[in-house]
Structure 1
Amino acid sequence: MIMRHILTIPGSGRRVHYRRCGLGPVLLMVHQSPRSSVEYEPLMRQWGAHFTCIAPDTPGFGQSDPLPGTPEIADFADALVETIDALGIEACPAYGFHSGGIILVTAIKRHPQRFRCLAVGGYAIWSEAEMRLFGERYLPEFHPTPYGEHLAWLWNRMLEQSWVFPWFDTREEARLSVAHADVARVAQAVMEMLEAGNAYQAGYGAVLRAPRDIPPPEAPVPPCLISAYDGDPLQAHIDRLGPMPAGWEAHKLATPAEHQAASLAFLREHSGEAPCPPLVEDAGEGWVPVEGGLIHWKGTPGADRLVLHAPGCELVDPEAGTLVIDAPGHGLSDDFEHPRAAVEEAALALGAEAILWPPPPQGDPALLYPDLAPDRFGNYLQRAWQVARAQAFFAPWYEANAAHAIPLDPGVLDPGALQRRARALIVAGSSARRWHDTLVHINGETR
């Protein structure tokens, strides 16, 4: 099972979310931008047979706090070392793909003693002209708009980045051979971008501005493998690397599977046998494993009350002396076929004395929870946005008439608030109806 944890960095108070899976020596895994550590879950399940895979969300992405100001690549590299310091990890092997590799190469130049080896998937060596192009157009501002127009841009931005590179270059010369219309992949990238918001500019911008020099041949650095497969736009950059330090090598490979196999073999060859340190995580937030998955919680274990939220909503911070959880299938909790059993098992594991089940929302559940499954054209994003807007005007939201009007609150119609509600609805998806039916059943029992 892949476990999830929150860690607060001593001194700065910066919160870092990380995933952990497997047994054996530690392998640090750094994701690309603007993604999060979730992109490594399939690879962590495979490589967990050989390593304890630890994949943090880099600052400003996923569930990790951003760095202050306008950070540069050295700040991201140092933040990564701060994280492994806080985790008690000594020298370890590390893997990074694209911008994750840029962060790692910067880190190994600044802190070579903290790594045993690196494996990098694609390393960019941009020309000055390319850098200018990226600087002008690659990272536009990304803010929610009142009527959700930004969602149409976001869907196409994430979809078409596999068609042309850079994503905005629609010349025939910019076409990629790996073009796809994989709805699940695009939808996941969209959700991660919605999570990061405009903070994506800081993390991604630092990578694009980073100096493109690898360590000089005489540098005393650990070994590194750089590889890129056919269709990766960075494969051609293998030819731009120039002379490298002893123990560094670069290869063009045919497929993603070959890249992953070569990376794993290199990491195993140079990893050493240092054991994984004991788990480090915050005391006030985490994930509790129950049968079938993980439940996200905040508060004080052993509290007298476990408080639950309504279907399709977000978790709110707990009051003193309480626990709160994301309902099954909502927020950061996994989905479960039997939500009640999952909640009761989580309450028992967390030592909660009582569960406060909320009443189900008023309205017809067949209308309250429309189909928000991702589709080929991204229409589900606009459906969720329109529901979030209607919720500010009417209760239930689908009864758009004077008899069901509710007082208007400008804060509820703020684009940021709309985006949080729309995203919560999309995350919940069909789980919202299942949670609604669970609450109907439980409230019927207590009458």
Structure 2
Amino acid sequence: MEITRHFVDVGSRRVHYRRCGAGPVVLMVHQSPRSSTEYEALMRTWGANFTCIAPDTPGFGQSDPLPEADATIDDFSDALVDLLDALGLEKVAAYGFHSGGTILVNTLKRAPQRFTALAIGGYAIWTEEESKAFSESYLPPFQPSGYGEHLTWLWNRILEQTWFFPWFDTRKEARIGVAHADPVRVDAVIREMLDSGDAYRVGYGAVLRAPREVPGPSDETRPVLILAYAADVLYEHIDRLPALPAQWEARKVATPADQQDQHIAHLGAHACPPPAQLGECADEGFLTLTCEGFSGRLHWRGLRDAGKPLAIHAPGSSLELLDTTSACAIDLPGHGLSDDWSGPAPTDLASWMAVLEAAQQALGCSEIVLPPAPLGDPEALFPDLTPDRFGAYLTRAWSIVRAGKMFAPWYEANPANAIDFVPEALDPQTLRIEHRALLRSRAAKAWASACQNV
């Protein structure tokens, strides 16, 4: 089932969301520090019953952060209501997992008229001791360092969160039953942390500090179903919940499939039809193109149908490194947020140009502006960056970006290949964006070859 991706402006912030399926609407709020990416498999399943709408919450995924560095759970709830306004959703049924559920329960308290029902997967009720430990150790700063040391910490922090909960508590008593060392699964979370940067502490911190208040037994409220399956670290927290209103129910289930089935039934009884059209911004989105060798989505940014040139980024880069005030730009296939080629990425320029010309026509651009051909052997310029068991690919990519500021090509580190640069070029925040673009560049080697095969 197809998942489409969109951007919408919410005040001065840009919010990214995914949509899938048909039928009544279910809003899906992800856990921290993840993004709506984590719901893709679930959306393809639930899309048979619902129109699933999954936004990236502020500061996560591709959504802008809130302006307040000390934002509270109320700020995140208000931002969610503002998003419903921007999308044109008067009221919705909603699902949230872990911190996504915390945001929803708090938003229900502040704006009950915007919801018909909630389904919550795992709801944390922290003890005083747990809250103290989280506030002191759970959210250390995540700032890029000059030589990429922050990436070694990140890899091990994300990996070991599947070994211990909380991740920093390595006592035997803190071991959990979902331990693994799968590089692909770890990498998926790593990339979302790289998207958030230090902003992860704002959203995650707001959830961890949030009061765990639920309505009293006699209060009138919307229907809420809280479930937790046996392997969930919040499974035992079901027993910590206080007496609930008559419209609320909380129970333990055996498996994730049990949780999904019961939540589908609950939401299906309360979901509302979708509006005729969801809100969407006019200067960023995703094109769906079908050309020889490529069929998928291209991420674009700029003002379309304005007769501006179409700027194309260099191999291993992305549109976020281009100026789109006077041009449109796209992420090429196999780069940035765009889909991959349908098969192996081509090395002939004609195949790439077919996609570029289709994008030019769709965006109403006047001309295509290609980047200079890169210097060096594409095989050496873009070595394999497949995730490995120890996260070495992360620091390898960082070293490539850093060396590329001083030598051309980067792998010829000698006086003859030295290039001029200013010290600001080595600013870790600058390197951070280029490092992320390189990690997203699955077809950089092929695009470099095509640029050289003119």
* Shorter-normalised TM range: over 0.9
The letter for the 2-side match of 1:170 is T
Give me the whole-angstrom Cα distance separating, in 2, the residues matched to 1:392 and 1:289: 35
Give 1:319 shift: 4.7
Give 1:320 shift: 4.8
Which of these residues, 322, 328, 345, is aligned with residue 327 of structure 2?
A: 322
SS in 2 for 1:96: strand
Which of these residues, 342, 354, 364, is aligned with residue 355 of structure 2?
A: 342
Partner of 1:179: 179
The answer (yes or no) to whether the contact 1:139–1:201 under 8 Å persists in 2 is yes
Give me the whole-angstrom Cα distance separating, in 2, the residues matched to 1:319 and 1:147: 30
Give 1:72 shift: 0.6
Partner of 2:447: 435
Q: Does 1:352 align with 2:351?
A: no
The answer (yes or no) to whether the contact 1:123–1:238 under 8 Å persists in 2 is yes
SS in 1 for 2:426: coil
Partner of 1:222: 222
Q: Does 1:296 align with 2:296?
A: no
Give 1:279 shift: 2.6
SS in 1 for 2:425: coil
Q: Does 1:139 align with 2:139?
A: yes
Structure 1 residues 231 and 421: alpha-carbon distance in aligned structure 2, compared to 1, 3 A threshold: same
SS in 1 for 2:301: strand
SS in 2 for 1:251: strand
SS in 2 for 1:412: helix
The answer (yes or no) to whether the contact 1:299–1:318 under 8 Å persists in 2 is no
The letter for the 2-side match of 1:311 is P
Partner of 1:374: 387
Q: Does 1:387 align with 2:400?
A: yes
Bigger Cα displacement from structure 2, 278-287 vs 115-124: 278-287
Can you list the C-alpha shifts for 1:29-70, whole angstroms capped at 9, x where unaligned?
100001111111111111111111111111111111111221
Give 1:354 shift: 2.4
Partner of 1:306: 310
Give me the whole-angstrom Cα distance separating, in 2, the residues matched to 1:53 and 1:174: 35
Q: Does 1:331 align with 2:336?
A: yes
Give me the whole-angstrom Cα distance separating, in 1, the residues matched to 2:149 and 2:301: 34
Can you list the C-alpha shifts for 1:290-316, whole angstroms capped at 9, x where unaligned?
132211111121224211011001313
Q: Does 1:41 align with 2:46?
A: no
Can you list the C-alpha shifts for 1:201-259, whole angstroms capped at 9, x where unaligned?
11000000000121222222111111111121100000011211122111211222222
Q: Does 1:3 align with 2:16?
A: no
The answer (yes or no) to whether the contact 1:18–1:57 under 8 Å persists in 2 is yes
- Superposed CA RMSD in Å reads 1.5
SS in 2 for 1:8: strand
Bigger Cα displacement from structure 2, 145-154 vs 249-258: 249-258
Partner of 1:198: 198
The letter for the 2-side match of 1:323 is C
Structure 1 residues 170 and 321: alpha-carbon distance in aligned structure 2, compared to 1, 3 A threshold: closer
Give 1:437 shift: 2.5
The letter for the 2-side match of 1:165 is F
Give me the whole-angstrom Cα distance separating, in 2, the residues matched to 1:350 and 1:321: 14
Partner of 1:14: 13
TM-score by length of 2: 0.93
SS in 2 for 1:428: coil
Give me the whole-angstrom Cα distance separating, in 2, the residues matched to 1:275 and 1:15: 22
Bigger Cα displacement from structure 2, 31-40 vs 249-258: 249-258
Unaligned 5+ runs, structure 2: 346-350
Bigger Cα displacement from structure 2, 244-253 vs 169-178: 244-253
The answer (yes or no) to whether the contact 1:306–1:347 under 8 Å persists in 2 is yes
The answer (yes or no) to whether the contact 1:119–1:263 under 8 Å persists in 2 is yes
The answer (yes or no) to whether the contact 1:217–1:244 under 8 Å persists in 2 is yes
Aligned pairs for 1:62-141 (under 5 A) are 62-69=61-68, 70-141=70-141
The answer (yes or no) to whether the contact 2:89–2:274 under 8 Å persists in 1 is no
Give me the whole-angstrom Cα distance separating, in 2, the residues matched to 1:24 and 1:327: 33
The letter for the 1-side match of 2:309 is R
The answer (yes or no) to whether the contact 2:177–2:231 under 8 Å persists in 1 is yes
The letter for the 1-side match of 2:418 is A
Give 1:418 shift: 1.4
Give 1:6 shift: 1.4
The letter for the 2-side match of 1:408 is F
SS in 1 for 2:440: helix
Give 1:370 shift: 0.8
Bigger Cα displacement from structure 2, 239-248 vs 118-127: 239-248
The letter for the 1-side match of 2:298 is I
Give me the whole-angstrom Cα distance separating, in 2, the residues matched to 1:180 and 1:344: 45
SS in 1 for 2:374: coil
Partner of 2:348: none
Give me the whole-angstrom Cα distance separating, in 2, the residues matched to 1:73 and 1:214: 14
Give me the whole-angstrom Cα distance separating, in 1, the residues matched to 2:125 and 2:445: 49
Give me the whole-angstrom Cα distance separating, in 2, the residues matched to 1:384 and 1:164: 28
The letter for the 2-side match of 1:306 is L
State the number of aligned residues: 438
Q: Does 1:403 align with 2:404?
A: no
The answer (yes or no) to whether the contact 2:230–2:255 under 8 Å persists in 1 is yes
The answer (yes or no) to whether the contact 1:31–1:40 under 8 Å persists in 2 is yes
TM-score by length of 1: 0.95
Unaligned 5+ runs, structure 1: none
Can you list the C-alpha shifts for 1:272-299, whole angstroms capped at 9, x where unaligned?
4x23340311111111111322111111
The answer (yes or no) to whether the contact 1:359–1:440 under 8 Å persists in 2 is no
The answer (yes or no) to whether the contact 1:24–1:276 under 8 Å persists in 2 is no
Aligned pairs for 1:416-431 (under 5 A) are 416-429=429-442, 431=443
Give me the whole-angstrom Cα distance separating, in 1, the residues matched to 2:5 and 2:235: 33
Bigger Cα displacement from structure 2, 120-129 vs 64-73: 64-73
The letter for the 2-side match of 1:437 is S
SS in 1 for 2:266: helix
The answer (yes or no) to whether the contact 2:374–2:451 under 8 Å persists in 1 is no
Can you list the C-alpha shifts for 1:85-112, whole angstroms capped at 9, x where unaligned?
1111011110000000000000111111
